[in-house]
Structure 1
Amino acid sequence: MAFDGLFTHAVTKELATLLDGGKVSKIQQPYPNELVMTIRANGKNLPLLISANPQFARMQITKIPFKSPAVPSTFTMTMRKYLAAAKLTGITQVSNDRIVHMDFTTRDELGDDMQLRLIIEIMARHSNITLINVGTNRIIDLIRHVPADENRYRLLMPGADYVPAPAQDKLNPFTAKSSDYADLTDGSEKDVEVLAGNIQGRFQGLDRISARELATRVSRGIGGIAWQEFFAAFDKAEPTITTGKRMWFTAVPYGTLEGERTGYANISAMLDAFYAQRAERERVQAVGGSIIRVLKTNINRLENKLKKFDEGLAASERADELRLRGEILTTYLSQVPRGAKSVELPNYYDDMKPIKIRLQPDLGPNQNAQKYYTRYQKLRKSVSHINEQKAEANEELSYLQGILDLVDLAAPKDLEDIRTELQAAGNIRRPSKDKRKRPKVAKPDSFWASDGTHILVGKNNLQNDQLTLKTANKHDIWLHAKDVPGSHVIVESPDPSDKTLLEAANLAAYYSRSQHSGNVQVDYIEVKRIKKPNGAKPGYVIYTGQRTLVVTPDEALVNRMKTKPTL
């Protein structure tokens, strides 16, 4: 199910129950198209995520952590200026469209009452978040500015009059009368697909999945009753994720969707579960795009350099041939005519068979022999130099590929540490104003074993170093996927149970390059036996005496371990 009008109806009802009458306590914009407003209501601070992301547009209460940028955007500053401490007076849906109005009351600079409205349009690539002054109908600001040349119907820029999105010439199913659907539910229409199309054509806010579900219920039951029961259910949502060939989220269980059903306490919890991985990956690509480009550019550069090294080594294989020709020329100098372009001499290394040796006519016999020796010595020296450079390039390539793997595993909050590491390594230029600042490393992620044992997971090299070398107790247990880049995992117990070790090993395997492998070897050892060589790159450690477990990464287990168990 998409975030259609029916789902928007259920979300609006849930949020109105939770947030009505609350006050805005904090406003953040952690990502370019997403706003988080913390609203204090009923004695709780509730972070409301409003997303205008083209793929993941939605609004919900979220428990997924996020990190705000060091410098707030202009839109964030405007929102704080107008909505800080504002009171939420209502949340309403426009007809059955994917548009929600959040009305606020506050005071202007002169102390007079001011009515503001935050308009959330959940419309795929046209999604937007707009703040307007209700009294003047003027746009104060938007999260996405849309000039006239991109939208001829309306101007979506600060200072312009707000023009609503074009309304559909369809009926609102929640306010429709029985006469509006009587001809659709009289039992004469039995073709579900045709009936679904007719429902979509007449009523607003139903995507194809919802229309097919309603059409199926109508065709199997008493039309009017099925219709009424279907829409009444959205006022008492039963949030459900159905996992079959695809994953679907719905505000109520849909019988037409095949697969395993998982119910949730509320819509926001369901959306967190559904979007957690999808939205995080997209956010990593958006926030870490520059990091990924730098890594791929440097990886390509090193791969090209290694190809040239291999070409140089292939050429150096001719060194012995050059030495041989120099020796033969030196032995038979008297038989080498001056001014000749080549000469054939007996090869005493190959049963005296003749060997043809090219000469430079302007050089004498001895000079030609010395030239072969010189080229031989140059190639021999280059072999040692090329091998040293090749080893350095391979080490650097492995290091950067490891960081790229960590970017794939990272949450958006971990990317700043990766950027800092690349700045320290010289791969990314550090802004001059930040050169004197000591970078602050983000905290590792927390997990809990089924027996309540706390487990920490570093998500990048700086976090790994901080966690293993400074945070962990020397008797804690350290785990890492064997021979592949990945997270350092610390079990905060000197003597964890076998089950806890297996669960921690699962974390180490999941947060590694081998995440999608069937059987992953994971080393574990006491922290006190971990050493970091002098001058080693971030995240690199050595150890001996380890033991090894073999596990299969289990995403469901990883997700369960994010919540502390009730014992």
Structure 2
Amino acid sequence: MKVSDHMSFDGVFTHAMVTELHKKLLNGRISKIHQPYQNELILTIRANGTNYPVLFSADPTYPRVQITKIPYVNPAVPTNFAMMMRKYLQGAIVTDIQQMANDRVVHFTITTRNELGDAEQLVLIIEIMARHSNVILVNQQSHKILDVIKHVGADQNRYRLLLPGATYIEPPQQDKLDPFVQNTAYVQLVKDFPNQEVLAKQLQQRYQGLGRDSSLQLAADLHQSGDAATHYQAFLDQFDQPTGTLITLPNHKTMFAAGNYAYFGQPTRQFDSLSALLDFYYQDAAQRERVQQQAGNLIRVVKNDLKKNRNKLKKLQQTLANTKQADELRLKGEILTTYLHEVKRGMTEIELPDYYHDNRPLKIQLSNQLSPSRNAQKYFSRYQKQKNAVIYVGEQIELTQAEIDYLDNIQTQIELAAPADIAEIREELTQQGYLKQHKTKKKQRSSRKVSQPQKFVASDGTEISVGKNNRQNDQLTLKTARKSDYWLHTQKIPGSHVIIHSDDPSEQTLTEAANLAAYFSKARDSATVPVDYVQVRRIRKPNGAKPGLVIYEGQKTLYVSPDAALVEKLTPNK
């Protein structure tokens, strides 16, 4: 899914999200606290008999607050910030959720008990402000910051210190009107600015919390025939009863909204909640961001090794091209030997008939220091040297190409990985010698469970498994799958091993599994992808082969177009 350039999480969307969170979370108890990623806090809040994982994201690219169902991976050791949040918030009650003056700032008022057992009010604040986004815990009475997910010192911001112990200062106020507080500034604006785009800019400058897309939509509504006040109120009312709406734009990107944004296009899909909408909208982009954070050094190592090996391959191929003259050396040696009686010592060249090519004259360079027979011998020894070089260079090309294929495959796995898969890919690269071993991490590694391939269910109920890294791929294909099951893989393209757990899958199941193989491959964005399929009994792993590498024979090939909607349809309900 292509994400739009529109930043839809503006003040009115925040208003709608606060409406949703207020309904679901009020008076809920904080039961679990995790910081799975550098800029993200997840509080599990139990309210009305349901556990809601609430994401507070200060990610510079995708900041937001929402209930999330996207699984996350916790670090082996909790961060200091997570430990502080547990100290203050474990078991506390969420007594209020308020947005500040239609800005992208949300205050969660939390009632807890201090060490003496006295009730204490804390405020967990999320500021959704692009790269300045932050999550801050403040004592309501003293306004002192207890902790903050991103520390901001005086060298970064003189006006606002965001450090434990500092006094919390609200973000600087803009001189704008709250659109939800009754005012009629828009009436004059509509009269003064008949051009819709200019009106949108004026609305954005005058009113707090109107992003570009919201101001364009409101300008379009106010320009409709009829009473402007009615249109203005109708625009705002939808954020009190929001509908999670996904809209596909003319450039095929998508944007999200909390209601009717017909100015941009008709709804492509509607969701039960804004949180479900954001999970769907951000699942790829936000996961990519999380993977980038966790796999930074892996991506760098693999990139560098790929570059090094591709350069090596070029040089080897150049060397091979240079050694192609070996046969010509042998030929000259043989012709010299045949006509040795015509060669005189002291000659620097001789022209002799080439009996391999219709006796046409062939010029042969000679050394005037050597005897005729030594000259011939020199050609034979040069021939032998080059022939040996061809064999060696051929072997080196094969090894280097295998290395490139392996690293290319790893790079694809990192690109397609969920954060949970990164630890295993890191472990594999350490075992293969691409990363240095950290002695301190040995204990953590041994205690971690082997992750399982992703499960899918075909339309007819057949189970399909997809390996997401080499460890899973080897386990799935060589250990878990039965010999009669079917194995699928993109043809000559890095990707996942896919197993259909059936000895006689239907055509539809084969096509669906092929789609999964294409989707979980380097060719995800291609139009037509060749996918080989064969029974597991035809697969074998060569001795000494790198993780994830197998060879097979007797395969058939299907051509499919990767389809995200189909992948979602085949994903069993969690």
TM-score past 0.5 threshold: yes
Q: Which residue of 2 aligns with 1:151?
A: 157
Q: Deviations over 1:218-269 (max 9, x none)?
A: 2222122222222122111122111122312111111211244321111001
2:543 to 519, 534, 556: 534
CA distance in 1, matches of 2:280, 2:526: 24
CA distance in 1, matches of 2:373, 2:540: 58
1:550 to 551, 559, 572: 559
Contact 2:354 2:362 in 1 (8 A): no
Contact 2:10 2:211 in 1 (8 A): yes
Q: Deviations over 1:58-116 (max 9, x none)?
A: 11111111212223322222222222222212111111100011122223334343322
Q: Which residue of 2 aligns with 1:216?
A: 220
Contact 2:487 2:534 in 1 (8 A): yes
CA distance in 1, matches of 2:287, 2:280: 12
1:137 aligns with 2:143: yes
Unaligned runs of 5+ in 2: 1-6
1:258 to 245, 265, 270: 265
Q: Which residue of 2 aligns with 1:25?
A: 31
- Report how many residues are paired: 559
TM (norm. structure 1) is 0.90
1:355 aligns with 2:363: yes
CA distance in 1, matches of 2:366, 2:155: 72
Which stretch shows the higher mean deviation, 536-545 or 61-70? 536-545
CA distance in 2, matches of 1:182, 1:244: 30
Contact 1:523 1:546 in 2 (8 A): yes
1:380 aligns with 2:384: no
1:45 aligns with 2:51: yes
SS of match in other structure, 2:145: strand
**Cα displacement (A) at 1:544:** 4.1
CA distance in 2, matches of 1:21, 1:39: 9
1:227 aligns with 2:236: no
Contact 2:350 2:366 in 1 (8 A): no
CA distance in 1, matches of 2:312, 2:545: 23
Contact 1:489 1:508 in 2 (8 A): yes
Q: Deviations over 1:283-318 (max 9, x none)?
A: 222222222211111111111211222232233233
SS of match in other structure, 2:138: strand
SS of match in other structure, 2:137: strand
Q: Deviations over 1:45-70 (max 9, x none)?
A: 11111111122111111111121222
Summarize the Cα distance change of 1:435–1:200 in structure 2 as closer, same or farther, 3 Å threshold.
Answer: closer
Q: Which residue of 2 aligns with 1:308?
A: 315
SS of match in other structure, 1:263: strand
The one-letter code matched in structure 1 to 2:147 is: D
CA distance in 2, matches of 1:104, 1:379: 79
1:68 to 56, 74, 79: 74
Q: Which residue of 2 aligns with 1:91?
A: 97
Unaligned runs of 5+ in 1: none
1:449 to 447, 451, 458: 458
CA distance in 1, matches of 2:536, 2:333: 59
**Cα displacement (A) at 1:393:** 1.1
CA distance in 1, matches of 2:327, 2:465: 57
TM (norm. structure 2) is 0.89
2:303 to 296, 307, 321: 296
Summarize the Cα distance change of 1:349–1:282 in structure 2 as closer, same or farther, 3 Å threshold.
Answer: same
1:499 to 485, 497, 508: 508
CA distance in 2, matches of 1:15, 1:397: 49
CA distance in 2, matches of 1:307, 1:322: 25
Contact 1:118 1:132 in 2 (8 A): yes
CA distance in 2, matches of 1:353, 1:412: 69
1:423 aligns with 2:430: yes
Q: Which residue of 2 aligns with 1:122?
A: 128
Summarize the Cα distance change of 1:541–1:353 in structure 2 as closer, same or farther, 3 Å threshold.
Answer: closer
The one-letter code matched in structure 2 to 1:232 is: D
Contact 1:447 1:456 in 2 (8 A): yes
SS of match in other structure, 1:318: helix
The one-letter code matched in structure 2 to 1:218 is: L
The one-letter code matched in structure 1 to 2:175 is: D
Contact 2:11 2:102 in 1 (8 A): yes
The one-letter code matched in structure 2 to 1:355 is: K
CA distance in 1, matches of 2:490, 2:340: 63
CA distance in 2, matches of 1:327, 1:190: 93
CA distance in 2, matches of 1:236, 1:127: 26
CA distance in 1, matches of 2:193, 2:319: 77
The one-letter code matched in structure 1 to 2:298 is: I
CA distance in 2, matches of 1:27, 1:151: 29
CA distance in 2, matches of 1:406, 1:123: 32
1:272 to 279, 283, 294: 279
Which stretch shows the higher mean deviation, 80-89 or 268-277? 80-89
Summarize the Cα distance change of 1:349–1:493 in structure 2 as closer, same or farther, 3 Å threshold.
Answer: closer
Summarize the Cα distance change of 1:197–1:397 in structure 2 as closer, same or farther, 3 Å threshold.
Answer: closer
SS of match in other structure, 2:354: coil
1:193 aligns with 2:201: no
The one-letter code matched in structure 1 to 2:79 is: S
Which stretch shows the higher mean deviation, 499-508 or 528-537? 528-537
Summarize the Cα distance change of 1:133–1:255 in structure 2 as closer, same or farther, 3 Å threshold.
Answer: same
**Cα displacement (A) at 1:558:** 0.9
Percent identity, aligned pairs only, is 49
Q: Which aligned pairs between 1:478-489 and structure 2 lie closer than 5 A?
A: 478-489=487-498
Which stretch shows the higher mean deviation, 46-55 or 525-534? 525-534
1:408 aligns with 2:412: no
Q: Which residue of 1 aligns with 2:3?
A: none
CA distance in 2, matches of 1:412, 1:104: 30
The one-letter code matched in structure 1 to 2:233 is: Q
Which stretch shows the higher mean deviation, 252-261 or 93-102? 252-261
Contact 2:245 2:267 in 1 (8 A): no
Summarize the Cα distance change of 1:496–1:388 in structure 2 as closer, same or farther, 3 Å threshold.
Answer: closer
The one-letter code matched in structure 1 to 2:260 is: P
The one-letter code matched in structure 2 to 1:124 is: A
Q: Which residue of 2 aligns with 1:490?
A: 499
SS of match in other structure, 2:32: strand
The one-letter code matched in structure 2 to 1:347 is: L
**Cα displacement (A) at 1:143:** 1.7
1:239 aligns with 2:250: no
2:206 to 202, 206, 216: 202
CA distance in 1, matches of 2:559, 2:372: 68
CA distance in 2, matches of 1:229, 1:78: 43
Q: Deviations over 1:516-541 (max 9, x none)?
A: 33333333344455433333222223
Which stretch shows the higher mean deviation, 55-64 or 128-137? 128-137
The one-letter code matched in structure 2 to 1:283 is: R
CA distance in 1, matches of 2:393, 2:287: 42
Which stretch shows the higher mean deviation, 168-177 or 68-77? 68-77
1:518 aligns with 2:527: yes
